[in-house]
A and B are shown apart, each in its own frame.
Chain A
């Protein structure tokens, strides 16, 4: 693993700052723990020794080229794939389990059920997880309002634009009372303008209700703009080539960041570091 710039933890209200050397100590504030993960599909090695400790309440993005195994890591955390692997994964101290009520999972496509209205879609997750009807309706209405879909409660997905559909999916995800958010390129299919709006919305929602987020993307600028920490993976077999702390102030606005030279400088600097890192890993 060629970590060119290692940052592991952040100062937070609950936790002392930890240095990379401490990561093996059982720290109570580690929400998600990935330890020496190795995975192969047949002869092909997909993930090659990934270790990652994610503190509670951290917004972490994993960036990497397609096929680097980033989505595989997310799906292992969600319990969606049960492939034999080496190393361990822990969420809140427990092994991943499909359907874990502590996890809210968001897919690349909105996956709204077309036979349900926006309101019914926003409350779908809560309904499956047994939230009483009155509570879930109130919560879904509140979330729809916060994602800017007030007035669209009774509209079927067919009549919503791509951006609106993904807003509705965000409402469904945030309506769940889950401390872990696992997001698989949720804005990958949107046009640039809509994508920016949705990133802004996500950051907004997250700043109101902090949860531990693992956000998969192949867009470095997106990762920098929304995250506390960006982990960069190499092409297959996936390894962590950089683990970067993003010290842009919070609360932040993704749209305002676009206008700030500081953001673009940071992006350029990280990009340069990455290029050096890749060159470095090519040499190996």
Chain B
């Protein structure tokens, strides 16, 4: 029975691979044909063979794109970690001191309402062309997203859990470790997932505006030199990177929240 259903799963997977492979092959073939025969201008949309050639020479032959990817990843992870930790601590402070939260709320709302990428010129001036300014932009996005989910998660705790734990005479540290933190994790996690995606957005956006390194900088350079095959290649890498980020967050979440 299990063997049979496994075989059925395997077969349907194979069928799906063939279906998607066929679709992609047809689309890419059409694109290539259209570019070669002059239906579309390859200067503006590139062509699959050119994209493959670009990726081959910059990913396999020379490690250029790997190095740029490294800079982007560094900026993304650093801004994500710093922003999340700061937001978790601030969220905890807000939950323990609601009056403080009410006091600073208008200021936070004002900053949060600002399109953060508009701060990029300021951050680049303050922190330079290097990765620090990208981390600052990413941080400014991650912080608010994770902060609001942290506060929501800690406010939305099950009242019965709190009552029970209080009757048991829990110390504040026990309350935090045994109830507040694990109870808030599911909501915090949805904020972290979004925060990671926005960290990447902030970093790549900052790199496009002004930078020495990174996939965003590469993208801006290739675009300004009309290397459309290069632009398409970098976009492909960025979307794969984004998918990888989401996939790894899901894997961590599944592990951490296996009780759900």
Q: A129 contacts B164, CB within 8 Å?
A: no
Q: Which residue of A lies closest to B170 (CB)?
A: A128
User: Residues of B contacting A105 with CB < 8 Å?
Assistant: 163-164, 167-168
Taking a contact as CB atoms under 8 Å apart, the answer to whether B169 and A99 are in contact is yes
A262 within 8 A of partner (CB): no
Q: How far is it, in angstroms, between the C-alpha of A263 and the C-alpha of B9 when the chains are bound?
A: 60
Residue of B158, B170, B257, B260 touching A111 (CB-CB under 8 A): B158
Q: Which of B165, B168, B179, B257 has the most CB of A within 10 A?
A: B168
Within 8 Å of chain B (Cβ to Cβ): is A98? yes
**Is B4 located at the chain interface by the 8 A CB criterion?**
no
| B64 cross-chain contacts in A, Cβ below 8 A | none
Q: B residues within 8 A CB of A129?
A: 168-169
**Contact partner, B178, options A99, A101, A124, Cβ 8 Å:** A124
Grouping DSSP codes into helix (H, G, I), strand (E, B) and loop, the A interface class, with mixed when no group exceeds half, is: loop
Identify which of residues 60-110 in chain A touch chain B, using a CB-to-CB cut-off of 8 Å: 78-80, 98-101, 103, 105, 107, 109
* Interface range on chain A (Cβ under 8 Å from partner): 20 to 34
**CA A124 – CA B178 in complex, angstroms?**
9
Whether A99 and B167, one on each chain, are in contact in the complex, defined by CB atoms closer than 8 angstroms, is: yes
Report the Cα distance A101→B174, complex, angstroms: 15
Q: Which A residues are in CB contact (< 8 Å) with B170?
A: 99, 128
Interface contact B259-A156, CB-CB below 8 Å: yes
* Assembled-state Cα–Cα distance A37/B257 (Å): 46
- Complex: A113 Cα to B180 Cα, angstroms: 11
B36 is an interface residue with CB less than 8 A from chain A = no
Instruction: Confirm or deny: A114 has a beta carbon within 8 angstroms of a beta carbon on chain B.
Output: yes
Interface string of B157-186 (1 = CB under 8 A from A): 010110111111110001000110011010
- Expressed in whole angstroms, the Cα–Cα distance for A154 and B81 within the complex equals 33
A158 interface hit (Cβ, 8 Å) = yes
What are the residues of chain B within 8 A of A124 when measuring CB–CB?
Answer: 168, 178
Taking a contact as CB atoms under 8 Å apart, the answer to whether B160 and A128 are in contact is no
Q: How many A-B residue pairs have CB under 8 A?
A: 57
Q: For the complex, is A125 an interface residue (Cβ under 8 Å from B)? A: yes
Is A101's CB under 8 angstroms from B164's CB? no
Bound complex: CA of A100 vs CA of B166, how far in Å?
Answer: 10
- Residues 73-93 of chain B: 1 if any A CB is under 8 Å from the residue's CB, otherwise 0? 000000000000000000000
Contacts of A41 in B (CB 8 A): none
Contact with A along B211-252 (1 / 0, CB 8 A): 000000000000000000000000000000000000000000
A 107-122 binary contact with B (CB < 8 Å = 1; else 0): 1010101111000000
Task: Decide: A80 and B164 in contact? CB cutoff 8 A.
Answer: no
From B168, B179, B185, B257, give the contact of A99 (CB < 8 A): B168
Q: Could you tell me the distance in whole angstroms from the C-beta of A111 to the nearest C-beta in chain B?
A: 4
Known contacts A98-B169, A99-B169, A124-B178: does B164 contact A115 (CB below 8 Å)?
A: no
Q: Please tell me if the beta carbons of A113 and B169 are within 8 angstroms of each other in the complex.
A: no
- Given A107-B160, A158-B259, A158-B260, CB of A113 within 8 Å of CB of B166: no
Which A222-251 residues have C-beta < 8 A from chain B?
Answer: none
A213 to chain B, nearest CB (A): 15
**Alpha-carbon distance A78/B185, docked complex (angstroms):** 29
State whether A80 touches B166 (Cβ < 8 A).
yes
Complex contacts, B259 vs chain A, CB 8 Å: 114-116, 156, 158
Interchain nearest-CB distance for A180 vs B (Å): 11
The 8 closest A-B pairs by CB, nearest first: A99-B169, A111-B160, A105-B167, A128-B168, A115-B259, A156-B259, A111-B164, A115-B182
Interface of A with B (CB < 8 Å)? 78-80, 98-101, 103, 105, 107, 109, 111, 113-116, 124-125, 127-129, 156, 158
B residues near A (Cβ < 8 Å) are 158, 160-161, 163-170, 174, 178-179, 182-183, 185, 257, 259-260
Extra A-B contacts (20), CB below 8 Å, given A98-B166, A111-B160, A116-B259: A78-B167, A80-B167, A98-B167, A98-B169, A99-B170, A100-B169, A103-B167, A105-B163, A105-B164, A107-B160, A113-B182, A114-B259, A115-B185, A115-B259, A128-B168, A128-B169, A128-B170, A129-B169, A156-B259, A158-B260
| CB<8 Å pairs between A and B, sample of 29 | A78-B167, A99-B166, A99-B168, A99-B169, A99-B170, A101-B169, A103-B167, A105-B164, A105-B167, A107-B160, A107-B163, A111-B158, A111-B161, A111-B164, A113-B161, A113-B179, A113-B182, A113-B183, A114-B259, A114-B260, A115-B185, A115-B257, A116-B259, A124-B168, A125-B168, A128-B168, A128-B174, A129-B169, A158-B259
